[in-house]
């Protein structure tokens, strides 16, 4: 099934075609090690628009190059945890995980991620559990995927 926005990589992953995935990722001209490392001042945070928080940091809505992004920041003293997460997210890219848009490893470190304008999966699943109307409809198979 072809979904809007699918790339060749999405289709290869869905079809479990490891040989095609490898071919696509190793194609000439594709450098999977490129990192959008920027100055901390280039990733702007809207501190009034919190998207969530955890043990190591907070996520806010922000902008990078005029585009909406989710910006992950570290709590004081937890900067090394965020730096480790940045490294892991760059190494473990997947079409099923939000993409890293930009990173700043200068103090304070920031991680700019794709902004999911329909919210996160947990909120969606909670809304469906209590029959709350949602902006989009996702089939259970898509969630499991």
**CA-derived radius of gyration, the chain:** 17
Q: Is 48 exposed, middle or buried (0-12, 13-18, 19+ CB in 10 A)?
A: exposed
72 is in an annotated binding site: yes
List the one residue out of 88, 95, 103, 82 whose CA is nearest residue 35.
103
- 57, 73 contact by CB (below 8 A): yes
User: Where is the binding site, in residues?
Assistant: 72
User: Where is the binding site for ATP, in residues?
Assistant: 72
């Amino acid at each position: 099934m072809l979904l809007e926005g699918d790339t060749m990589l999405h289709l290869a992953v869905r079809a479990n075609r490891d040989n095609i995935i490898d071919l696509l990722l190793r194609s000439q001209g594709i450098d999977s090690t490129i990192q959008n490392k920027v100055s901390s001042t280039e990733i702007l945070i809207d501190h009034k628009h919190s998207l969530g928080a955890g043990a190591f940091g907070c996520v806010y809505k922000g902008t990078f190059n005029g585009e909406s992004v989710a910006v992950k920041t570290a709590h004081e003293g937890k900067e090394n945890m965020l730096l480790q997460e940045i490294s892991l997210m760059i190494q473990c890219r997947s079409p099923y995980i939000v993409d890293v848009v930009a990173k700043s490893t200068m103090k304070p470190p920031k991680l700019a991620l794709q902004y999911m304008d329909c919210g996160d999966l947990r909120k969606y699943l909670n809304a469906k559990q209590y029959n709350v109307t949602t902006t989009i409809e996702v089939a259970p198979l898509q969630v499991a995927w």
